[in-house]
Amino acid sequence: MAILVTGGAGYIGSHTVVELLAQGEDVVIVDNLCNSHPVSIDRVEQICQRRPIFYQADIRDKNALIEVFSKHSFTSVIHFAGLKAVGESTTIPLHYYQNNVAGTLVLCEVMAEHGVKNLVFSSSATVYGDPHTVPIVESFPTGATNPYGRSKLIVEEMLGDLYKSDNEWNIALLRYFNPVGAHKSGLIGEDPNGIPNNLIPYITQVAVGRLAQLSVFGDDYNTVDGTGVRDYIHVVDLAKGHLKALAKLDAKAGLVTYNLGTGQGYSVLEMLNAFEKVSGKTIAYQISPRRPGDIAACYSDPSLAKQELNWQAELNLDDMAEDSWRWQQGNPNGFAS
């Protein structure tokens, strides 16, 4: 019996595959490599001394998925495959709905046809929209402010309907806060295409000399130093959360929803300082206007995951900064280095 990991060549997927292999699981990856590099799979093998089975396929290609399901017996599916750039989603929304919503739909159809009914879904803190207060608990109202977020919310609702129609499904909706960091080996990490949208890859690319300076989007928020506050979580902690979620599903959990965050918010300038400390570099920055759609502060109350999954984040800000920096230094141009 194996675990199917869609999007397993990507950033969070590859780190989760490492944890699964380390736990002795058999892993099959389906990824179309639209936002990842096949070298990530070689690196996973290098770390684990075991190679996951890999199919380069699109999850919207039903025949390709059926072929994969006919070759392997799966206990569960961890579903990372999707597009994730908020800005891009506003310019090509149909592409986002096609990939994220239709892709999940096809996957669930094939799972149902093969009697595989345990699913872990990558959701996002973005489904909380602009929360009325922080920390955020799972019962807060949801609402999306962009097509990417709406695609996650639609999938959450679709999976809720699926569960209501058939209680044999066990589904974990994991709402990630801000994943950062990299595996301790420095062999896998985040490898964004083009100029990064997110803070940490931008900071590390300035530190390594690939980009000139960071724009800090706004210093007039009602936060500790005026810059935006987020709940950064080490990707290895996040990956381990998926293994705990799988165990919960094996125990017939039904439909469950968890925040995966640390519960601790850091500002942009606090992150910048942490990276300056570990890299020993001065990271040039300028204060720029607020980025449209950004909110002041977003951090989780992760206590439900602690109670019900026996999971909590263990790595701290120094670990996040050191591990991101090690990955960036060793791979200045990502997997293509």
As annotated, the active-site residues are 148
Q: Does 62 bind ligand NAD (CB under 6 A)?
A: no
Binding mask 76-115 for ligand NAD (x = CB under 6 A): ----xxxxx--------------x---x------------
One of 8, 52, 228, 265 touching ligand UFG (CB under 6 A)? 228
- Residue 197 interacting with ligand UFG (CB under 6 A): yes
| DSSP 3-state of 53 | strand
Among residues 197 and 303, whose Cβ is nearest to ligand NAD? 197
In the chain, where does DSSP find H-type helix? 11-22, 39-48, 62-71, 86-91, 93-96, 103-113, 147-165, 199-207, 235-250, 268-279, 303-309, 317-330
> Do 55 and 6 touch, CB atoms closer than 8 A?
no
Please identify the residue of the shown chain whose CB is closest to the bound ligand UFG. 228
Position 259 contacts ligand NAD (CB under 6 A): no
Selection from ligand NAD, ligand UFG, none that 228 binds (CB < 5 to 8 A by kind) is ligand UFG
Instruction: Pick out residues in 167-196 that bind ligand NAD (CB under 6 A).
Output: 176, 178-179
Taking phi over 0 as left and psi of -120 to 50 as alpha, with beta for the rest, 194 belongs to left
Q: Which of 69, 80, 169, 202 binds ligand UFG (CB under 6 A)?
A: 202
Residue 192: exposure state from Cβ atoms within 10 A (0-12, 13-18, ≥19): middle
Using CB under 6 A as the binding rule, whether residue 12 contacts ligand NAD is answered as: yes
Q: DSSP code of 259?
A: E
The residue from 3, 5, 7, 76 that contacts ligand NAD (CB under 6 A) is 7
Could you give the CA distance from residue 262 to residue 133 in angstroms, rounded to a whole number? 17
The residue range among 18-26, 102-110, 194-202, 307-315 that interacts with ligand UFG, by the rule CB under 6 A, is 194-202
For residue 230, the partner it binds in ligand UFG, ligand NAD, none, with Cβ less than 5 to 8 A by kind, is ligand UFG
C-alpha 249/C-alpha 253 separation (Å) is 5
Long-range contacts of residues 140-145, Cβ cutoff 8 Å, at least 24 apart:
145/293
Between 232 and 275, name the residue whose CB sits nearer to ligand NAD: 232
- For residues 9 and 159, which CB has a smaller minimum distance to ligand NAD in the complex? 9
CA distances to 30, 103, 287 from 7, rounded to whole Å, are 6, 11, 35
Which of residues 35, 118, 328, 331 is near ligand NAD by CB under 6 A?
A: 35
Residue closest to ligand NAD, measured at CB:
10
Residue type, 222: N
Pairing of strands 2-6, 26-31: parallel
- Residue 128, classified by CB atoms within 10 Å of its CB into exposed (0-12), middle (13-18) or buried (19+), is buried
Q: Which is nearer to ligand NAD, 117 or 242 (CB)?
A: 242
User: Residues 320, 232: contact at Cβ < 8 Å?
Assistant: yes
Binding flag, residue 9, ligand NAD (CB under 6 A):
yes
Contact between 28 and ligand NAD by CB under 6 A: the answer reads no
Residues in contact with ligand NAD by the rule CB under 6 A: 7, 9-13, 30-36, 58-60, 80-84, 99, 103, 122, 124, 176, 178-179
Residues in contact with ligand UFG by the rule CB under 6 A: 84, 86, 124-126, 176-178, 197-199, 202, 214-217, 228, 230, 268, 291, 294
